[in-house]
Amino acid sequence: MLRDILGSIVALFSPLAVDSLSRLLLVPKQRIGRMLKDLHDTLNIPTNHTRPLRPHHPSFRDFLLDKERCGDPNFWVDEKQAHRTLATRCIKLMSTSLKQDICGIDAPNMLATDIKSTQVEQSLPPEIQYACLY
């Protein structure tokens, strides 16, 4: 489970908060918190769970993704598998969350570029925005 969580964190194209990561991976946020509690030296784990998780240094990502450098199969992350898992979770999240006129515009001829970003942010949580973008 720790490898899957770390793999997701380092494979994400843009960082997500614990709350959003929890909803994307379908893992309770308390469980993610327990898994990451001893990793404050390598990860920036904000106390506010709506702020994104980030590795302190890019070399942590490099270390986890390199089988030779990591050495421990319990921590080594197969990057292709991590991306496959994220893609599957994104598709599942979109298929269960997206609906017609999700922003409540009620104007079928309105262009997406004419919708205010604040309205999109209010209607779509960060994990859904991530899934739609990537």
Return d(Cα 113, Cα 82) in angstroms, integer. Answer: 32
pLDDT in tens, 52-110: 999 999 899 999 999 999 988 888 999 999 999 999 999 999 999 999 888 888 888 88
Return d(Cα 86, Cα 4) in angstroms, integer. Answer: 10
* Residue 1 predicted with pLDDT over 90: no
pTM above threshold 0.85: yes
pLDDT in tens, 40-64: 999 999 988 889 999 999 899 999 9
Share of the chain above pLDDT 70, in %: 100
- Tell which wins on pLDDT, 115 or 126: 126
Q: Are 23 and 128 spatial neighbours (Cβ–Cβ below 8 Å)?
A: no
Return d(Cα 121, Cα 79) in angstroms, integer. Answer: 29
Residue 28 is part of which domain span?
A: 2-133
* Residue 117 predicted with pLDDT over 90: no
Domain count, the chain: 1
Query: What secondary structure does DSSP assign to 4-70, as a single string?
Result: HHHHHHHH-SS--BHHHHHHHHT--HHHHHHHHTT-TTTEE--SSTTSBPEESSHHHHHHHH-HHHH
